[in-house]
C-alpha cells in the first residue's frame, strides 16, 4: 500500500477503506506521506468523499496515530467543539463554567482556519500562556484546576495536526469528511466520556446553508457515537459575529468582561449556557438541558467560572493576576479607526465571512501557514442585525498596526453591512439540535 494508490482510489470515487485510512494516517504522522501527497489526498476527499466507512476509519486512525489519554478523576470528562465562526469565544467561557460544575474539561483546540478565529490563537494573546504544554502538563492542570485549553501536540493525533495545516492552505477546509475526522480524532484521543458540538450555520460559517450544517452535525454525532463517545450537537447561528469583537486579544477582553460581569455579552452567555446545559446532561450532572443551563448561569453569575479561568491561566504560564488586571495584560493595537455607517437605517445583513477575512488581513489570522499572528488587531463594537444606525455612526472600530491596513479594513467592513429602512427579524441563536436518536 502506498500514498499514490490510496489517493487514486479516493480520486476515482471508490472511497477509503479502514486499512487504507490506517496506512495514510500513519504516513501523515511519520512523514512518509509528503505535503504534496497530503494536499492531493485532501482535495480528492473534498471532491469525491470517502463514505461512512472511510470517515469512521480515518477518524479512528488519526486518533490512534498518537497517544490516547486515560483518566482517573472524580468526575466525568467532557468537552465541546465549535466548527468555527467569527467572534466565537464560547470555549473560553464554557470550559471554566463546566469545571465549576464538577466536570473535567481537557479542551484540545485548534488555531484559526481560513476566515475563522482559533481558540489557541486567542489564548496565546495572554502573555506567557503555554498553549502547547504537552500531555503530562495537560493531565496535571485538568486534575488540579478542572479544565485546560491547549493544542494538540505531537503526542495527540499527530496525523490530524499535519492534515489540519494542509487543509487551511489547500482550499479543502469545508469538506464534511475531513472536518469530521479532524474534530473527532483530537477529541476521541482526549479520552472523553461525552462531547457536545456547536455546528455553525450562516455567512460566517464553513456551512452557510442549513442543509449543509445539518449534514455535518449528523456526520459528527453519528461518527462519535459509533466510536463509543456520547455526543450531541446544537446548530447555532453565524449570520453575524457572535461577539461584539472579532480578533484574538479583543475577544479575550470580551470574555473577561463577561466572566467578571463588567460588560456582559448576552449572545455569548446564552450560547454558552445552551451548550453547557447539553454537556451537563451528557455528563449525567443534569436531568434536562434547562437544568444544566441554569447550572452554567450560576457558575458565571457567582464568579466561580472566572476564578477557574484565572487558575487555568496561571497554571499554564500566564499572569497570576490576569482576572484582576486583564485590561493591562492584553496587547492593544496602535491605530484605531471607526467605520462610519454610509446612511441611516437598520442593519439587515452582515457578511460575517468578510468580517473574518478583514481580521485575517489585519494580521489576526493566516493567509499562509507560516504567517505569524498579531494578537492585538481586529474589530470591536460590531453592529448587529436589527440595530438602528444614524449616518456616520460607527458600524465597528478597526484595531490595526498601520493606517494603510486600517483603511483597507474600514472599506471591507463597510461593504460587509447592509442597511435598510425596514427593521429585520433578528436571527435565532440556536437553530436546532441533533442527538444520538436523530442519526
Helices 304-315 and 322-329 pack at an angle, to 10 degrees, of: 70
Distances (CA, A) of 92 to 12, 141, 143, 149, 226: 42, 16, 18, 8, 28
Catalytic residue among 81, 230, 285, 353: 81
Q: Which residues contact 74 (CB under 8 A, 6 or more apart)?
A: none
Is 209 catalytic? The answer is no
Catalytic residue among 64, 79, 177, 237: 79
Catalytic residue among 60, 167, 285, 311: 167
Are residues 65 and 157 in contact, defined by beta-carbon separation less than 8 angstroms?
yes
Is 79 catalytic? The answer is yes
Are residues 185 and 160 in contact, defined by beta-carbon separation less than 8 angstroms?
yes
Task: Give the span between the Cα atoms of 13 and 102, in whole angstroms.
Answer: 46
Catalytic residue among 55, 60, 63, 80: 80
Catalytic residue among 55, 111, 115, 187: 187
Is 17 catalytic? The answer is no
Closest by CA to 194, choosing from 80, 347, 26, is 80
Give bridge partners of residue 223 from the DSSP assignment.
Answer: none
Task: Give the span between the Cα atoms of 72 and 78, in whole angstroms.
Answer: 13
Is 167 catalytic? The answer is yes
Q: Name the DSSP letter for residue 53.
A: H
Is 182 catalytic? The answer is yes
Is 119 catalytic? The answer is yes
Catalytic residue among 59, 109, 119, 170: 119
SS3 195: strand
CA atoms within 13 Å, Cβ hemisphere of 2: 2
* Type and span of the H or E element at 359: helix 352-359
Are residues 388 and 346 in contact, defined by beta-carbon separation less than 8 angstroms?
yes
Is 187 catalytic? The answer is yes
Catalytic residue among 122, 186, 244, 366: 186
Ramachandran angles phi, psi of 311, nearest 5°: -65, -40
Catalytic residue among 65, 82, 91, 223: 82
For residues 125-137, one letter each, b for 16 or more C-beta atoms within 10 angstroms of the residue's C-beta and e for the rest, the string is bbeebbbebebeb
Task: Give the span between the Cα atoms of 141 and 358, in whole angstroms.
Answer: 35
Task: Give the span between the Cα atoms of 374 and 283, in whole angstroms.
Answer: 37
Q: Which residues contact 262 (CB under 8 A, 6 or more apart)?
A: none
Task: Give the span between the Cα atoms of 149 and 91, in whole angstroms.
Answer: 8
Give the residue numbers annotated as catalytic, written as ranges. Answer: 79-82, 119, 167, 182, 186-187
Amino acid at each position: 500500500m502506498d500514498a499514490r494508490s490510496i489517493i487514486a482510489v479516493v480520486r476515482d470515487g471508490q472511497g477509503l477503506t479502514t486499512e487504507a485510512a490506517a496506512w495514510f494516517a500513519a504516513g501523515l504522522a511519520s512523514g512518509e506521506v509528503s505535503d504534496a501527497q497530503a494536499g492531493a489526498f485532501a482535495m480528492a476527499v473534498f471532491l469525491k468523499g470517502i463514505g461512512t466507512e472511510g470517515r469512521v476509519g480515518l477518524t479512528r486512525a488519526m486518533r490512534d496515530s498518537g497517544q490516547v489519554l486515560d483518566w482517573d478523576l472524580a468526575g466525568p470528562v467532557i468537552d465541546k467543539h465549535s466548527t468555527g465562526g467569527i467572534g466565537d469565544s464560547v470555549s473560553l467561557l464554557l470550559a471554566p463554567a463546566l469545571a465549576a460544575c464538577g466536570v473535567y474539561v481537557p479542551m484540545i483546540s485548534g488555531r484559526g482556519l481560513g476566515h475563522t478565529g482559533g481558540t489557541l490563537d486567542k489564548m496565546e494573546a495572554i502573555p506567557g500562556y503555554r498553549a502547547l504544554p504537552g500531555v503530562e502538563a495537560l493531565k496535571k492542570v485538568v486534575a488540579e484546576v478542572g479544565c485546560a485549553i491547549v493544542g494538540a501536540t505531537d503526542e495527540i493525533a499527530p496525523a490530524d495536526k499535519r492534515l489540519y495545516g494542509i487543509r487551511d492552505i489547500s482550499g479543502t477546509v469545508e469538506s464534511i469528511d475531513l472536518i469530521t475526522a479532524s474534530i473527532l480524532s483530537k477529541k476521541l484521543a482526549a479520552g472523553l466520556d461525552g462531547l457536545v458540538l456547536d455546528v455553525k450555520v450562516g455567512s460566517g460559517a464553513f456551512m452557510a446553508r442549513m442543509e449543509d450544517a445539518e449534514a455535518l452535525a449528523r456526520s459528527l454525532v453519528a461518527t462519535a457515537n459509533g466510536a463509543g463517545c456520547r455526543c450531541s450537537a446544537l446548530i447555532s447561528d453565524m449570520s453575524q459575529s457572535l461577539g461584539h469583537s472579532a480578533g484574538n486579544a479583543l475577544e479575550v477582553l470580551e470574555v473577561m468582561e463577561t466572566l467578571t460581569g463588567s460588560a456582559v455579552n448576552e449572545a455569548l452567555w446564552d450560547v454558552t449556557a445552551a451548550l453547557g446545559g447539553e454537556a451537563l446532561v451528557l455528563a449525567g450532572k443534569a436531568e434536562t438541558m434547562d437544568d444544566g443551563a441554569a447550572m452554567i448561569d450560576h457558575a458565571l453569575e457567582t464568579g466561580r467560572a472566572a476564578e477557574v479561568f484565572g487558575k487555568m491561566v496561571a497554571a499554564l504560564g500566564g499572569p497570576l493576576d490576569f482576572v484582576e488586571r486583564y485590561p493591562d495584560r492584553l496587547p492593544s493595537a496602535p491605530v484605531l479607526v471607526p467605520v462610519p455607517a454610509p446612511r441611516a437605517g437598520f442593519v439587515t445583513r452582515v457578511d460575517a465571512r468578510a468580517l473574518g477575512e478583514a481580521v485575517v488581513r489585519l494580521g489576526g489570522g493566516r493567509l499562509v501557514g507560516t504567517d505569524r499572528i498579531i494578537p492585538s488587531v481586529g474589530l470591536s463594537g460590531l453592529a448587529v442585525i436589527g440595530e438602528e444606525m444614524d449616518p456616520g455612526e460607527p458600524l465597528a472600530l478597526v484595531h490595526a498596526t498601520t493606517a494603510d491596513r486600517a483603511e483597507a479594513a474600514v472599506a471591507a467592513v463597510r461593504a460587509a453591512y447592509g442597511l435598510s429602512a425596514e427593521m429585520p427579524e433578528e436571527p435565532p441563536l440556536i437553530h436546532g439540535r441533533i442527538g444520538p436518536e436523530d442519526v
